[in-house]
Amino acid sequence: MTAWPPTAPTPSSNLLTTRHDRHWPDHRRRHDDETAYREEVRALTSWCQDNNLQLNVSKTKELIVDFRRRQREEHAPLSINGTTVERVNSFRFLGVHISEDLTWTHHTDFITKSARQRLFFLRRLRRLNMDSRLLCRFYRCTIESILTGCITAWYSSCTALNRKALQRVVKAAQHITRTELPSMEDLYTQRCRKKATKIIKDPSHPSYKLFCLLPSGRRIVRRAWDLRISLPMIA
């Protein structure tokens, strides 16, 4: 697929994210002017037609983030090729549920429910006298992988209530396996360290300039907010 847009860059007032046949427009409106936003959608539709691509409007969702205390009027519906785009309160993008209020309650509720459903299989294996090491491996593959999906993007912004709900799943699995399991906070810290280490080793990464490795080789400084992350595992 040819990169979008093929000619002119996207205006600074718009942010359009595209993945396969799902197109998620997110527009930062200024003074209630939606002209640039709708013009961007029309340009996308024309570009797809020129490149022999067909937009699947049934899989296209519109998510509006509006923090104004007083909303003057309802937003006009968006149409593509004469078909109205469905407006949703939350949208699943790359496995993460993004809500219109930019909170992670819906996402944490979803993954907590999915993880608890898989605890049933962990209990059945325990009743079959499965070895603790195999139970832990099953937990990491089927439950921990759900709890930690894209954790570096959303966990730091979770409320205390959301974190407690996630940790209760870990404690339940810990009771079943009878072994010490890493907490959600530890998993989040480990993933952040791993991600930061990967970024500083890849000069082509977009966030490479945001991090700086100190001369000791054990700490990384994030230049934006001067946030220091201890990295004892770096050689």
Residue type present at position 4 = W
Q: Flag whether pLDDT at 24 surpasses 70.
A: no
- Mean pLDDT of all residues in 100-107: 89
Closest CA to 78 of 68, 63, 93: 63
| CB of 156 closer than 8 Å to CB of 189 | no
Q: Flag whether pLDDT at 192 surpasses 50.
A: yes
Is 41 within the bounds of a domain?
Answer: yes
**166 and 200, same domain (yes or no):** no
Is 95 within the bounds of a domain?
Answer: no
**165 and 225, same domain (yes or no):** no
| Predicted local distance difference test score (pLDDT) of residue 7 | 43
- The number of folded domains in the chain is 3
Is 39 within the bounds of a domain?
Answer: yes
**222 and 160, same domain (yes or no):** no
- Mean pLDDT of all residues in 52-67: 81
Which domain range does residue 51 map to? 14-88
130-168 pLDDT, tens digit per residue, is: 899 999 999 999 999 999 999 999 998 999 999 999 999
